[in-house]
Structure formats: structure tokens, C-alpha cells
Amino acid sequence: MTGTATKTQETFKTDRSSRLFERARAVIPGGVNSPVRSCKSVGHDPIFINRADGAYMYDQDGNSYIDYVGSWGPMILGHRHPRVLEALEDALALGTSFGAPSRLEVEMAELICEIVPSIEMVRMVNSGTEACMSAVRLARAFTGRELIVKFDGCYHGHADSFLVKAGSGLATLGISSSPGVPEAASKLTLSIPYNDVDKLREVFAKKGSEIAALILEPIVGNSGLIKPNEEFLKAITGLCRDTGALLIFDEVMTGFRVALGGAQEMYGIKPDLTCFGKVIGGGLPVGAYGGRKDIMERIAPQGDVYQAGTLSGNPLAMAAGLAQLKFLRANKDAIYKEIARLTDRLHQGLDLAAQKAGVAAQISSVPGMLSFFFTNNDVTDYESAATSDTKLFGKVWRGLLQSGVYWPPSQFETSFLSLMHSNREIDETITVFDQVLQEVK
């Protein structure tokens, strides 16, 4: 089944989603289990999804959408990829959770170490939040220092130390940090603008010997998509090396997506520790952190740094993730080339449509991820991303939705493409974007 270009805004109905949302709001805070899904910032009620297939999602009212959220990154092969479903069925027949070691965990760890050269040892967890939180604890233990440096608008999950000028849902809701985080915790986190080499040097000059780790999204997805500049990446690696601070790449979003070996393969950088999530789980709840052996050996029970998980390495999650990673590795060249081609096609099409409509727009993309910002400014950090006309973004988002394109419901998120998006879906998206811009400008 595919979407059709004949869909019109007149046939768009959301009665069933609305009724579910009403029930949800009575028993779930805000009616959703993760804030961005509420679609609040784009002036809409959430759409309740019934099922998904390939590049499409289908809601409770029978509307179909070309999906650019892709479960926020995991679905790089599209929804219901046959290899992933087969692996899940096989694993299901053997039991859903053991609480004891199993073969798939070993295969998963071996595969990650093989794909990502900076990873010598890896520990599986259940989310990206857990991965980042654990990596920071480990960095603090290993260095005997307490300060963490992060960048404004980067999101590393919702652990206390990261809710300081964080991106993603916090940026969407216009809150830079959260009540409930002790001041003592946020005082240990220094947040500075992304791509700002001078600020970075200043912080390291003042505090270098107290910094346990520098954590960053090597390509930012949680302020909308922002790319790092070369000088910035050079400064980061140099300053960490000179001061003994550990370099942590948060590749929860970029890992196995922008290239098989993630952003670190793309930029030729070997971080000390790396966090994974999203793609690594094939659509099931998985995260992982890994890196240098001498650091990872500090984790219990080999070492003294505690970190554990009842469902960590869960057989269903390992089966889905492994199947996805193996398929990506086996077809590496073809897959990443195709996703890059599709992303470029979308980038160029949206760019042209914006020019045609005379709307100031910055379009930013890397293979498999793309954002548009309605601003005249170059988008290089959170502050410049925030100059975007979010009202216009909301209007465009609603237009896209009603015409069958499910775009991430926030200016401060990136879209995700999958291997199942073809020219047909990309071109339909461009046509719809073009029509919507003509209507709203």
C-alpha cells in the first residue's frame, strides 16, 4: 500500500485520534509518553498511529502518511523490514527474557566492535538516556573529575546532568532546563554554544584539569539538524587530548545512520567513549555505550563502576537490532549511497520550492537526516536555529500532515529518511511542500 497524491485536506479526518487523545489526557500526563509527540508546538493534537509499513504510517482514522519521523531514527530500513520481523519471530519462539546471558548479546557486542573501530568493549542498556548517563558516570570515575562540558541545544537524554540548555523536547517547549534537577547536579555541567571554538578554548583554559568529559552530538539532530565545522571538531579532539578530559560522542542518532560507522567514521575521529541507541535496536528499546578497553574495564563486575539493567541485552531487542545491523553491514555501500541520494533529492527539491515561494529558508542535511528552518541566518548553533519562524513552521507542518506527510512535529528536531523512501515518496513530499508554501506564505 502506498499514499496517493490525490489526498486532499478536505478528506482529512481525525475523529478517532481526537477521542483517543481525550481518554489519554485523563490518565497519561499530557496524553503522551514523550513530550514531542504531543504536537503542541505545531498547534495540533497528536495523531494516533495504528500501524506502519515501509515508508508509510497509517492512523486510527485511516489516513496514510509518508513517514519522516521513523520512530525518531531507528527505522532506517523502513517499517516492518522482513529481515527484522523474521529475526523477531525466531527469537520470540525461544522466550522473551531470561535475566541470564544469551548468545545474541555476544554477537551484538562483536558486531559493534567490528563496525566501529573506536569500540573495544561495549555494554548494552535499554535507551539512549541510559547510555549517556552511564558513559558520564564512567568518565567521572575514570578521570576522578566531576565537570561535564556539553553544548547548548544538544540532547543527551533526560538524566539530571544533561538537562542544562538541552535541545529536543526542551527546546520545543521553550524550557532550557527542568525543575526537579538539583542545582548541585546542574552546577557540574557547563553548556556552551555549538561550533564556538573561542568559548570552547576559554572553558578548557579555565577548567581543563577539572573536566571529566566533553560530550557532544557530532552532528546535532536535537536543535533541528546542525553540522559541525572542521575547526570545531579539531579543537574538540585537541583540547580533550591536552587536558585528559574524555571525549564522548553521543551517536544515539547518528550511529549506523549517517554512515555504517556513524559520524566518527564520516569525520575520521576516534572518541574515547561512544553512546548508541535508536538504529541499534531495530525499533525495540535498546541503547549501548562503549569505547576504549582500559576505560570500559572499570565497569562492574570487571571494575568498580556500577551500572546494571534487568532487561539489558533482552533477546527480542538483540534479535531485532542485530538483524538490522547485519543487513546494513551486508549491503553497506548500496544502502548508504541510496539514502544519501534520496536525502539530496529532497534537500534540492525543498530548497527550490522555498525559493519559488520567496520564503527565506535554510535547509540542512546529512545522509538520512534533514531539517528546514525559516530564517535568513545560517544555522550553526541553537541560537541561530531559534531565529527560525516557528509559527510558519507550525503552519507548514499542519499543511504537510493534512496532505499525507508526517514530518517531525517540532522545529527543533530533524527528520529521518529510510531505505524504503523512493523517488516517488520524495517527489510527492516536494510537491506537497511546494503547494503548502504557496498557501501559507
**Which one of 142-150, 151-159, 188-196, 361-369 is the stretch in contact with ligand PLP (CB under 6 A)?**
151-159
Residue whose C-alpha is closest to residue 404's, from 439, 427, 429: 429
- Crossing angle (nearest 10°) for helices 332-357 and 315-330: 80
Min dist CB 186 to ligand PLP, Å, is 18
In this complex, which beta carbon is closest to ligand PLP, that of residue 156 or of residue 421?
A: 156
Residue nearer to ligand PLP on the CB measure, 262 or 277: 277
Least distance from ligand PLP to the Cβ atom of residue 154, Å: 7
CB burial string 101-132: b at 16+ within 10 A, e below = ebebbeebbebbbebbebbebbbbbbbbbbbb
Concerning whether 336 is annotated as a catalytic residue, the answer is no
Q: How far is the CB of 437 from ligand PLP (least distance, A)?
A: 28
Q: State which residue has the least CB distance to ligand PLP.
A: 128
Which has the closest alpha carbon to 364: 221, 265, 256, 251? 221
DSSP state of 283: T
Closest to 39 (Cα-Cα) out of 430, 386, 400: 400
Is 157 a residue that touches ligand PLP (CB under 6 A)?
Answer: yes
Is position 250 an interface residue for ligand PLP (rule: CB under 6 A)? Answer: yes
Give yes or no for residue 216 binding ligand PLP (CB under 6 A): no
**Site residues (CB under 6 A) for ligand PLP, limited to 113-132:** 127-129, 132
Q: Which is nearer to ligand PLP, 279 or 400 (CB)?
A: 279
Give yes or no: 155 in active site. Answer: yes
By beta-carbon proximity to ligand PLP, the closer residue of 248 and 354 is 248
Set of cell numbers at residue 164? 542544562
Cβ closest to ligand PLP, residue 73 vs residue 315:
73
Pick the binder of ligand PLP from 156, 395, 398, 421 (CB under 6 A): 156
Count the neighbouring beta carbons within 10 Å of the beta carbon of residue 16. Answer: 16
Q: Of the two residues 259 and 430, which places its CB atom closer to ligand PLP in the complex?
A: 259
Rounded to a whole number of angstroms, the minimum distance from the CB of residue 388 to ligand PLP is 19
Q: Which residue stretch of 75-83, 99-107, 224-232, 250-258 sits at the interface with ligand PLP (rule: CB under 6 A)?
A: 250-258
Please report the DSSP string for 284-347 in residue order. SS-EEEEE-HHHHTTBTTTSSB----TTTT-HHHHHHHHHHHHHHHHTHHHHHHHHHHHHHHHH
Binding mask 26-45 for ligand PLP (x = CB under 6 A): --------------------
As given in the structure block, the three cell numbers for residue 236 are: 574538540
Does residue 253 touch ligand PLP according to CB under 6 A? yes
70 Ramachandran zone, left/alpha/beta (phi>0; psi -120 to 50): left
Give me the catalytic one of 59, 67, 250, 272: 250
Residues 275-304 that bind ligand PLP (CB under 6 A): 277, 287
CA dist 341 and 1 (Å) reads 23
Distance CA 215, CA 211 (A): 11
Total site size for ligand PLP, rule CB under 6 A:
15
Least gap, CB of 26 to ligand PLP (angstroms)? 25
CB of 323: closest distance to ligand PLP in angstroms? 19
Question: Cα-Cα-Cα-Cα dihedral of 325, 330, 333, 335, to 10°?
Answer: -50
**Residue 413 makes contact with ligand PLP by CB under 6 A:** no
Interaction of residue 274 with ligand PLP, rule CB under 6 A: no
DSSP line for 136-169: HHHHHHHHT--EEEEETT----SSGGG-BS--TH
Residue 250 falls in the annotated catalytic set = yes
Strands 246-250 and 211-216: parallel
Minimum separation from the CB atom of position 251 to ligand PLP (A): 7
DSSP β-bridge partners for residue 149: 190, 214
Measured from the CB atom, the residue of 222 and 371 that comes closer to ligand PLP is 222
**CA–CA gap between residue 378 and residue 381 (Å, rounded):** 9
Antiparallel, parallel or unpaired: β 211-216 and 147-151: parallel
Q: Which of 56, 155, 204, 249 binds ligand PLP (CB under 6 A)?
A: 155
Which residue numbers are catalytic? Answer: 155, 250, 278
Site residues (CB under 6 A) for ligand PLP?
Answer: 127-129, 132, 155-157, 217, 221-222, 250, 252-253, 277, 287
